Amino acid sequence: MANLHSILNKIIVLFAAAALAGCAATGGPLGLSPQQETALGDQQHPQILAAFGGEVDDPQLTAYVDNIFNRLMASDPTLPAMNIYVLDSPVVNAMAVPGHIYVTRGLLALANSEAELAGVIGHEIGHNKERHIAKRVSRSNLAQIGTVLGAILTGDADTAQLIGQGAQLYLLRFSREQEYESDLVGTRLLAASGYEPIASARFLNTLGAWTNLEAQIAGVSQPPEYLKTHPNSANRVRRAAQEANVLSQGGASGETRRGTYLNAIDGLLYGDDPVKQGFIRGRDFIHPQLRFGFTAPNGFEMRNSSQAVTARSSSGAQMQFSGAACQQGPRALINQQISQSMKIDLSPAQQITVSGRPGAAGQGRANTQRGPVDVTAYAVQWRGQSCYIFLWVTPANQTRQLQAAMNQTAQSLRDINPGSVNVPDARRVDVATAQRGDTVSGLSRYMAFPNYQQERFLIINGLGANASVTRGERYKLVR
């Protein structure tokens, strides 16, 4: 029987994309020739940019990250050519495809030194250096690159997919041994380029603490995107630390450049950009840039992410809102793509109208380890061939009770006039110097969060649970 959480996660897996053009033949024992690797990376590059908000519009920050990347690349002349990009996404993530390396501003906000960021970049360089994507792609699956094989939210063993507003992204998940291999490459690049080698292990520890807290706050056990494709096991931390110790004994103590790093990220946008990524206000989700909004039912707590807006009730009902292309219209979207990807028959979808636009609604039942659940899909053709989709998973004994609320949420999808919206201020990283008498609890009160202020302060500053602040030291706040 299916797992309830797995079913909910699979609801954003909707569509197939075009297969690789001009890459029908494989080359060499690895399955892909270098030319095909380049073609694969070049094809995925615009999809990654689209799905993660494009590049950060900050030339100074971009130049700073470029310098770190170039320093690492210069330490090993055998590295293949590649470029680096800073993505305008709050998601803590880093990725590699042939010829391209990506880090998000969400990851930059979590790191605590230049050496830690260099360790992440070095790890991603390692994937390209060791041709991990080529080793994962064989003649039998080359034609399947760009088709739906799994969703990043399900942690599928072979392929991960992100769907943003009409954008699709496919990322190969690397094996555990390939992760270890890239950890070693990254740690050695740190040492060779003059950085402190232990920084990789230090960042993995911070990432693990942040992951646990985010999961606790969200009430879920699923890790974020970075850890779906980059498992943060204790073994990884130990191995990276062991390699760092070996290198340090050889005299490679290295730099951290923490002060320089804090200067670079001071003022960095933290979390969602309320204009570009929308914001939650009470029961409303409002997206000023895309000019729409909707209202969730009473008793549901909403969360915004780069892939979807989610909502859940204390009784176990859950919703995801996302966007995708629907060339054949809302009914076909539900009857075919959604039903097929979820392996739950939601047909025949019934025609509805939302805000004067054509839509459809379909429902089906699935058995899970916790009992039967109903899956309800609403699709609304909004502009051109773009659809917005509400997908609900409700315990079967609650569906009738919640049906009116689900219908009302779909019907609440509406146009928004950006000029009439009071958009909240964006949160930013604020680097502050501890003064006499400052304490962890005192500084934590400046954190712009409604809860878990102290826990967040400790984690984003790489501090342990019993740590104290030091007068004259600089610490990250989010305000």
Which position has the higher pLDDT, 448 or 24? Answer: 448
Domain enclosing residue 461, as ranges? 427-478
Interval 185-197 mean pLDDT:
91
Interval 393-414 mean pLDDT:
97
Is there a single domain that holds both residue 306 and residue 261?
no
383, HSE (Cβ side, Cα atoms, 13 Å): 8
- End-to-end, the C-alpha distance of the chain in Å comes to 45
Which position has the higher pLDDT, 221 or 378? Answer: 378
Q: What is the pLDDT of residues 266-319, one digit of tens each?
A: 999 999 899 988 999 999 999 999 999 999 999 998 888 767 898 989 888 999
70 pLDDT above the threshold of 70: yes
Is there a single domain that holds both residue 264 and residue 291?
no
Is there a single domain that holds both residue 254 and residue 351?
no
Last residue of a domain, one of 370, 398, 419: 419
Q: What is the pLDDT of residues 127-161, one digit of tens each?
A: 999 988 777 764 334 333 333 222 222 233 222 23
- The residues, ordered by sequence, that sit 6+ positions from 99 with a Cβ below 8 Å of its Cβ are 37, 38, 41, 42, 45, 80, 81, 82, 83, 128
Rounded Cα gap, residues 402 and 408, in angstroms: 10
Q: In this predicted structure, what is the pLDDT of residue 162?
A: 29
Last residue of a domain, one of 227, 245, 270: 270
Last residue of a domain, one of 385, 419, 453: 419
Residue 421 CB neighbours (<10 A): 17
Is there a single domain that holds both residue 58 and residue 91?
yes
Strands 292-295 and 284-287: antiparallel
Is there a single domain that holds both residue 438 and residue 386?
no
Domain of 310, CATH number, reads 3.40.1000.10
Q: In this predicted structure, what is the pLDDT of residue 143?
A: 36
22 pLDDT above the threshold of 50: no
* Cβ contact 323:389 at 8 Å: yes
Is there a single domain that holds both residue 217 and residue 125?
yes
Is there a single domain that holds both residue 218 and residue 188?
yes
Is there a single domain that holds both residue 213 and residue 305?
no
Q: In this predicted structure, what is the pLDDT of residue 173?
A: 58
Angle at 341 between CA 336 and CA 347, to 5 degrees: 35
Q: In this predicted structure, what is the pLDDT of residue 239?
A: 73
Q: What is the pLDDT of residues 345-365, one digit of tens each?
A: 999 999 999 999 999 999 999
Residue 246 three-state SS: helix
Rounded Cα gap, residues 402 and 388, in angstroms: 20
Query: 450: exposed, middle or buried (C-beta count within 10 Å: 0-12, 13-18, 19+)?
Result: exposed
Rg (CA), the chain: 23
Q: What is the pLDDT of residues 437-473, one digit of tens each?
A: 999 999 999 999 989 999 999 999 999 999 999 999 9
Interval 399-414 mean pLDDT:
98
Q: In this predicted structure, what is the pLDDT of residue 474?
A: 98
Is there a single domain that holds both residue 395 and residue 442?
no
Rounded Cα gap, residues 186 and 239, in angstroms: 12
Torsion of CA 309, 314, 315, 320, to 10 degrees: 0
Is there a single domain that holds both residue 371 and residue 474?
no
**Highest mean pLDDT, choosing among 4-18, 162-176, 369-383:** 369-383
Token pair belonging to 59: 């030339």
Is the pTM higher than 0.85?
Answer: no
Which position has the higher pLDDT, 161 or 38? Answer: 38
Interval 389-410 mean pLDDT:
96
Q: In this predicted structure, what is the pLDDT of residue 469?
A: 97
* Residue 28 banded pLDDT, cuts 50, 70, 90: very low
Counted domains in the chain: 3
Interval 246-256 mean pLDDT:
72
Is there a single domain that holds both residue 235 and residue 299?
no
Is there a single domain that holds both residue 344 and residue 379?
yes
